[in-house]
Amino acid sequence: MKSFVKIDFDDIDPEHGAPNPERVISGDPQFRTWNCEEAEGDIYAGIWEATPGKWRIAYDEWEFCHILSGRSIITEEGGEKRPVEAGDSFVLRPGFRGTWEVLETTRKEYVIRL
C-alpha cells in the first residue's frame, strides 16, 4: 500500500452525475468527480466539478473544500449567501442545509469524512 498519494486525475476517468432532479432549482447542473483516494474510516479525497445551475444541498458528512476555479454561491438555510471562488477554502459540517449555485463552472478539491 502506498503511503503517499498524489491528487492527480490525469489517469482517472471521471464519474458523471447530477443533483437529484427534485433538488434542482434552476439550470441543468452536471457533475464530474475524480475520486483519487478512499481510506479506512470512510474518508475520500479528489476533485469535483459542476456546471452552472442551482440546487438544494443537505450534508450528513463532513467536507473540506478548496476551490480551484470558477465561481459559486453557497447559501445556508436562514443564513447569508457566501460567494466562493478560486483560492477559497471552507468546511461544510454535518447538518448543513441550503443551496449551491454555480455561476461559472466550478472545480474543487475535496476531503470527505462520512
- Mean pLDDT score across all residues of the chain: 95
Residue 92 C-alpha cell reads as 461544510
Please give the sequence-ordered ranges of beta strands (E in DSSP) within the chain, or none if there are none. Answer: 15-17, 24-27, 31-39, 43-50, 53-58, 62-76, 81-85, 89-92, 97-113
- Name the domain count of the chain: 1
Contact between 107 and 65 (Cβ < 8 Å): no
Q: Is residue 29 part of a domain?
A: no
Q: Is residue 84 part of a domain?
A: yes
Q: Which domain range does residue 44 map to?
A: 38-113
Q: What is the pLDDT of residue 1?
A: 59
Measured CA angle at 105 (ends 102, 108), to 5 deg:
90
Q: Is residue 72 part of a domain?
A: yes
Q: Is residue 7 part of a domain?
A: no
| Residue 97 confidence (pLDDT) above 70 | yes
Provide the 8-state DSSP code for 21: G
Q: Is residue 93 part of a domain?
A: yes
Question: Other C-beta atoms within 10 Å of 22: how many?
Answer: 7
pLDDT tens sequence across 3-53: 887 877 788 899 999 999 999 999 999 999 999 998 888 999 999 999 999
Here the CATH number for the domain that contains residue 81 is 2.60.120.10
Task: Give residue 14's Cα distance to chain centre.
Answer: 14
Q: Is residue 14 part of a domain?
A: no
